[in-house]
Chain A
Amino acid sequence: MATIDGSSIKKLIVACDAGMGSSVMLAGTLKKQLAKTGVTVEHSPVANIPADADVVVTQAGLADRARSTVPGVPVVPFQLFMGDPAVTKVVKAIQSGETVEV
């Protein structure tokens, strides 16, 4: 269980196994959704998440590895690559600057 403060997020990382396929796709979507907020959205392999990430979004099957790469950073696992409520929650929290539990 982790708490994320939407207003303090400057860098969101979308991680997948290779950092080349699904993460690039979802990062593209989130970049558009978060364009107005000024938050940096990047994609990376789960083994190589940058340490300065404020929040990591990854598929539930890869979440354990993401947590072991960046132990201090909140990891938000999701199931579906499109239209997953967990991802929507993070986007809304960033847009509104609210604090949510993930």
Chain B
Amino acid sequence: MSEYTPTVTGTGWRARVQKFGAFLAGMIMPNLGAFIAWGLITALFIPDGWINEIARLVSQNPDATVPFATTTAALVGPIIVFLLPILIGYTGGRIVHGQRGAVVGAVATIGVILTPLAYGQAESIADLGPQFLGALVIGPLTAWILKQWDKLVEGKLRSGFEMLVDNFSAGIIGGAMAIVGLYGLGPIVTAINNGFAAAVGFLISNNLLPLAAIIIEPAKVLFLNNAIGNGILVPLGADQAQEAGKSILFMLESNPGPGLGILLAMMLFGPRAVRPTVPAAIVVQFLGGIHEIYFPYVLMKPVLFAAAILGGASGIAVFALTGVGLRGPASPGSIIAYLLVSPPSDIVFILLGIVVSAAVAFGVGALLLGFGRKEPAMDLDEAKAQSKRNKNKPEAATA
């Protein structure tokens, strides 16, 4: 008998939430390279980016700007306003209906992007903001409509007319959905976007943002890290960063500090059999940014949920109190990615926040593990069996 007895094929709440989250993250994650290109260009070339700050330091002139940087900074706006949402709409369309879906998803996305122009909320293209939420909805939706059409006519076309019908059905559905996006969907997603922004603003201005860790840290460990980090916080953060030049929202889920603290606690005070596996995990987590690697250790010792939450909350508190943010997403959440997208003026406090969150997670974790004193010489199988029991409890209740 194996200890890995499979549970009934999964439709539990966790699998369902994960699936929806993976659908959202699946539209963002293949495009992270473009987000990072945008983040790096922003970090380097904007008025208070690295190049101008260094020029000011060297020339001792606080108003110095480098013309090359000023010109290059023109890339920032169009990338976030047009390229990134269109890539998301394209990818969303591709998930639903392959290459044809991708194309109509991209076409439809341009409509939601231009909504503020249609309603007089923006004077010109330069006033537009990114419409990630709109892209996340209309890309897959348009592809789904085309898919239904393709199913309808499949096998019914007269030979020789396939290409004509295929091209014009995609053109007409894509074009029509661009108009629907422009006038119909745009205002709805703008309202929802504003609602999100107001909620985030409320949390920030009332110093409540650290409470987000109560949701984010446990959700991460249940493998909702991509759903929350990339599916929700990256688009919201990019939205905020377009206006403010940086965003704290990029740091809520991706902070490598809490995971580092937990792994250190586990290395010194965890079950003896798993201690030797931890050092390699620390490298992968903190430098490589693959946070998944510490989740099993938390599931193995569920008291560590508290360490993760308090570590995450204290990191966010430092970030919020010092008013720091990242230029673009740090994805994967590696310390190296953090340094590459940190504004020059914020880097010290960002590192401080990471260190504090790691220290708090380690301290709380060490305390909850009883500094290893309660730890008998437990072997790996036993530890894993226990983790499995703990993990199956909530699912058994809902199954």
A16 lies within 8 A of B296 (CB): no
Q: Which residues of A contact B296 (CB under 8 A)?
A: 59-60, 79-81
Nearest CB in chain A: distance from B200 CB, A = 24
Q: Does B34 contact A (CB under 8 A)?
A: no
Q: Please name the residue on chain A nearest to B333 by beta carbon.
A: A21
A residues with a Cβ closer than 8 A to B are 1-2, 16-18, 20-22, 25, 45-47, 59-65, 67-68, 71, 75-77, 79-83, 85-86, 101-102
Q: Which residues of A contact B227 (CB under 8 A)?
A: 17
Residue contacts A-B, CB under 8 angstroms, 10 given? A17-B18, A17-B226, A18-B230, A45-B22, A47-B19, A60-B388, A61-B299, A64-B10, A65-B22, A81-B284
B10 lies within 8 A of A68 (CB): yes
Interface contact tally, CB-CB below 8 A: 110
With an 8 Å Cβ cutoff, the count of chain B residues facing the other chain is 46
Nearest CB in chain B: distance from A12 CB, A = 16
Q: Which of B225-256 contact A (CB under 8 A)?
A: 225-227, 230
Q: Does B71 contact A (CB under 8 A)?
A: no
Q: Does B61 contact A (CB under 8 A)?
A: no
Measured in the bound complex, the distance between the Cα atoms of B14 and A2 in whole Å is 23
A86: which of B4, B7, B23, B284 is its contact (CB, 8 Å)? Answer: B4
A25 lies within 8 A of B25 (CB): no
Most buried by A among B288, B295, B332: B295
**Stretch from B163-171, B202-210, B349-357, B379-387 forming part of the interface with A:** B379-387
Measured in the bound complex, the distance between the Cα atoms of B278 and A80 in whole Å is 10
Q: Does B223 contact A (CB under 8 A)?
A: yes
Measured in the bound complex, the distance between the Cα atoms of B296 and A60 in whole Å is 9
B9 lies within 8 A of A67 (CB): yes
B290: which of A25, A60, A85 is its contact (CB, 8 Å)? Answer: A25
Q: Does B73 contact A (CB under 8 A)?
A: no
